[in-house]
Amino acid sequence: MARSIAIGKVGKASRPRIRAVPKMRQRRQRGFTLIELLVVLAIIALLLSIAAPKYFRQYDKARETVMRHNLTVLRHALDDYRDDRGEAPASLDSLVSDRYLKALPLDPITGRTDTWRLVPGDDDQPAEVHSGATGQALDGSDYATW
């Protein structure tokens, strides 16, 4: 038993009505207003003003930690050189040429390897190495005294 469906003309009364949207409403749906953009930019600026100082403080703290580690490595190499040879090296390049170090470590404050200062010692004081960086650390001490 097959069913047949009658298809007829749809009258005006059964058509869905499409409401006209006012032009102001159409324009507002296309983008953001200036006030909305300013509020978003103000929120972003507030978040950056909170986060940026913490970021830079951590960056400086990390550089100081690397410098302390590099000074420790240099001082251990100086001690090994002095224990093996009985005297301090003439320069820090001697540590590299005599294979106590692969290369001189980078001074993270100056960004160079040639700013380390070798302070010659005497019989009471052994030779010491310091940073050649100028300025002060976060704790207030001078980098040159490290």
DSSP 104-140: PPPBTTTTBSS--EEE---SSS--EEE----SB-TTS
Predicted confidence at residue 12, as pLDDT, reads 59
Residue 89 has pLDDT above 60, yes or no: yes
Q: How would you classify residue 135: left for phi > 0, otherwise alpha for psi between -120 and 50, otherwise beta?
A: left
136 DSSP β-pair partners: 142
117 DSSP β-pair partners: 130
The length of the chain in residues reads 146
Per-residue pLDDT of 125-134, as tens digits, reads: 888 999 999 9
Per-residue pLDDT of 55-68, as tens digits, reads: 999 999 999 999 99
Predicted confidence at residue 31, as pLDDT, reads 87
Q: What is the DSSP letter of 30?
A: T
Nearest to 82 by CA among 41, 125, 15, 127: 127
Nearest to 129 by CA among 86, 82, 97, 84: 82
Predicted confidence at residue 26, as pLDDT, reads 55
- Structural contact between residues 103 and 96, judged by C-beta atoms closer than 8 angstroms: yes
Measured CA to CA, the distance from residue 95 to residue 78 in angstroms comes to 7
Is the pTM above the cut of 0.85? Answer: no
More confident: 134 or 8: 134
Measured CA to CA, the distance from residue 128 to residue 117 in angstroms comes to 8
Structure token pair of residue 112: 């160079």
Structure token pair of residue 63: 């550089």
Residue 122 has pLDDT above 90, yes or no: no
Residue 10 has pLDDT above 70, yes or no: no
